Amino acid sequence: MTSAETFFGGAPEAFAQAPGRVNLLGEHTDYNDGFMLPVATPQKTGVALARSQDDQHHLYSGTLDGNVTFAAKGGSAPQGFGSYIEGCIRLVEATGVEIPPLRVFVTTDLPVGSGLSSSAALEVATLRALRQLLGFKLDDVKLAQIAQRAEIDYAHVNCGIMDQMASSLCDEKHMLFIDARSLEHRLVQMPEGTELIVIDSGVPRTLAASKYNERRAECEEASRKLGVKALRDVTAPQLVEQLPEPLRRRARHVVLEDLRVLEAAKGVSPERFGELMNASHDSLRDDYEVSIRELDLLVEALRAAPGVLGARLTGAGFGGACVALCRAGQAAQAAQTALSNYNKEGRKGRILIPVPPQGKENNEPV
């Protein structure tokens, strides 16, 4: 692995970080103009920048130990981590900002493929570093919108706005209530006396992209049949019962999930928040059909652990991680109990949050 000092031949000119996100409620609602409640992860992605001495952009990922080089004027990066960075550069240039050839050094402790949105963290960190280096004005909401466009136009992932808004505006102590249509947002206190557990199932999200696009198309068709702009405009859940299958179940998940977020954002007891998380997972499993056996088993293991109030998959589904709400002071032990039960049959889950002590592997007793 190349060191930053070697890569830059000294110190970088700018450095910025951005967190990943864990979504607590509001899954598959963002592209339906709905509501979400994510929170930032303690893990972050860092991007260091310096001006290049030639006419090329030189990118290096410390995590992948990989290099990408492309022409600053008219060049393009191959698909991979470089395409996200290229998208950020080109979209800032499109606003009229002159960006010189750059050297870009990326590091992260976010697990890629676990559903914690490492891609949004990379985009937001890149844009923050560019803003710092070049001194242009860019507020945090607009930054999130540019990050989203970078992912859609350059990484070719037709994503909603939640991940980028969360990475740009979230912290670890508060949930961020987001209205995907208006981009209204506000910080909301976590349920009192609670902390989070996040465990990676060990199953890569291999189907997530293709099934995501399929679910998005199904929601658009359901909206057309109901005569609304988006499913967020359906406020009476019984209205979806007229739809043919599977559109009825897809729409029912989205409509009820929005109602769960709106209830939670007003402030509910820890016990009620846990119930809403449980209902969310059951809906994602049965109506939206984006869960898999391993995620269901992990959720069951988490729900059975002492101190856990509720658990659900987080992210697009078909692998990745699960999140649980736990009584404060019990998360480390509950996570280890759940992980031990989940891994009994040779599965490869690992604890992501609480972050294990330095020197401990994520699947070792703490």
**Report for 31-45, 103-117, 156-170: range of highest mean pLDDT:** 31-45
Q: Which residues contact 220 (CB under 8 A, 6 or more apart)?
A: none
Residues 228 and 131 in one domain: no
CB atoms under 10 Å from CB of 96, counted, come to 7
174 — phi, psi (to 5°)?
-130, 150
- At which residue do the structure tokens 């068709």 appear? 221
Domain end residue (candidates: 125, 159, 189): 189
Mean pLDDT of 88-116: 93
Q: Does 117 have pLDDT greater than 90?
A: no
The pLDDT-based confidence of 364 (bands split at 50, 70, 90) is: very low
Q: What rounded mean pLDDT belongs to the chain? A: 94
Give the total number of structural domains in the chain: 2
**Burial class, 281, CB count within 10 angstroms (exposed 0-12 / middle 13-18 / buried 19+):** buried
Q: Is the pLDDT of residue 261 over 90?
A: yes
Is pLDDT of 362 > 60? no
Annotation says 54 is catalytic: no
Look at residue 358 in the predicted model and tell me its pLDDT. 64
Mean pLDDT of 234-254: 97
Domain extent, residue 225, equals 194-353
Which whole number is the average pLDDT over 318-342? Answer: 97
Q: Do residues 56 and 183 share a domain?
A: yes
Q: Which of 163, 200, 258, 287 is flagged as catalytic?
A: 163
pLDDT computed for residue 366 by the predictor? 31
Q: 185-221 pLDDT, tens per residue?
A: 999 999 999 999 999 999 988 776 778 889 999 999 9
Tell me whether residue 362 is in a domain. Answer: no
CATH code of the domain containing 292: 3.30.70.890
Domain end: 171, 189, 207, which one? 189
- The CATH number of residue 32's host domain is 3.30.230.10
User: What is the average pLDDT across 357-361?
Assistant: 59
What integer is the mean pLDDT of 91-117? 92
- pLDDT of 339 strictly over 90: yes
